[in-house]
Amino acid sequence: MRLACFSSAQGEGVFAASAQGAWLRLGPRQDLADWLAPAGQARARQRLAEASADVAEPQVWLPPVAPGARIFCVGINYRSHAGETGRDLPPQPSIFIRTQESLVGARAALRMPTASSHFDYEGELAVVIGAAARNLSLDEAMSCVAGYTCFNDGSVRDFQKHSVTAGKNFDASGACGPWIVTADALPDPAACMLVTRLDGMEVQRSSTSLLIYPVPQILSYLSTITQLRPGDIVATGTPAGVGARRDPPLWMRAGNRVEVEIDAIGTLVNPIE
């Protein structure tokens, strides 16, 4: 099952589900976290079985992020990316946070900052939390997962040298979507192929099996710090190929089109303005 947020013709945020392409509205976007919980997913499946889809193709996708949710990101989580940056492998997951204002949905424009030309892409697999969880063991960690989505951790590299928070949180600099694929449809998040393209040119390719810290370890670690909540997003890190480490550097520019494809999920596409 796929779960998505989009803007209705009246400009309202809507949450919807799909099993075979067309979409069925379930309620307002602010209720997203409730639908991600196990009981909510069961209700969504029942609604899909009983009702006809009422949206053929959303025109304005919104990031599938619940209001009030946190966006946790893991830095340097592929050996290939650690190698290209010259960084040592982190002794534990390296966590930072993005704001909701820094993310847009599929097809929406990423905004190139006027203060910098060093605007970089980072394709990632993101985990969506569906159940409150604290102090999870590795064996328990996957029990809180609602599903998965594509993530572009757009980074302003010169500001990132000031601080990670600065470089990762320009408004509309990253993206998430186009939808959430529920965990039952993607039983092994370590068996996906992630590909990033800039204007059709492949710039990143990696199996998610190559994460330094796999999904259960990330979630167990995070849950020792804070209670994970339904709707929270956990972006798991990017592989090698980022623009900043190319010679010459390859920055995103106005007029470009960036894609993050994960074979078991779909493709997150955004123009750059």
What is the structure's pLDDT at 83? 76
Task: Look up residue 83 and give its two tokens.
Answer: 């190698």
Q: Give first-to-last CA distance, the chain, whole Å.
A: 32
User: What whole-number distance in Å separates Cα of residue 234 and Cα of residue 71?
Assistant: 6
Greatest Cα-to-Cα distance within the chain, rounded to the nearest angstrom? 55
Tens digits of per-residue pLDDT, 114-143?
999 999 999 999 999 999 999 999 999 999
Map residue 251 onto helix, strand or coil: coil
What is the structure's pLDDT at 273? 98
**Which among 68, 55, 64, 48 has a CA at the least distance from the CA of 8?**
55
- State the residue for tokens 């704001």: 99
Please check whether residue 234 is in contact with residue 116, taking contact to mean a CB–CB distance below 8 angstroms: no
Tens digits of per-residue pLDDT, 150-183?
999 999 999 999 999 999 999 999 999 999 999 9
User: What whole-number distance in Å separates Cα of residue 166 and Cα of residue 194?
Assistant: 26
Residue-averaged pLDDT of the chain: 95
Q: What is the DSSP letter of 105?
A: -
Please check whether residue 141 is in contact with residue 220, taking contact to mean a CB–CB distance below 8 angstroms: yes
Map residue 175 onto helix, strand or coil: strand
CATH architecture for segment(s) 71-271: Alpha-Beta Complex (3.90)
Name the residue type at position 90. Answer: P
Residue 57 pLDDT greater than 90, yes or no: no
- Residue 52's φ and ψ, nearest 5 degrees, are -85, 140
Lowest mean pLDDT among 53-57, 198-202, 240-244: 53-57
Question: Who has greater pLDDT, 80 or 5?
Answer: 5
Tens digits of per-residue pLDDT, 191-200?
999 999 999 9
What is the structure's pLDDT at 10? 76
How confident is residue 88, by pLDDT bands cut at 50, 70 and 90?
A: confident
What is the structure's pLDDT at 137? 98
What average pLDDT does range 232-237 have in this prediction? 98
Task: Look up residue 145 and give its two tokens.
Answer: 């997962």
**Which among 111, 101, 119, 232 has a CA at the least distance from the CA of 167?**
119
Domain boundaries, the chain: 2-62, 71-271
Task: Look up residue 158 and give its two tokens.
Answer: 């010169």
Task: Look up residue 146 and give its two tokens.
Answer: 């609602």
Residue 11 pLDDT greater than 90, yes or no: no
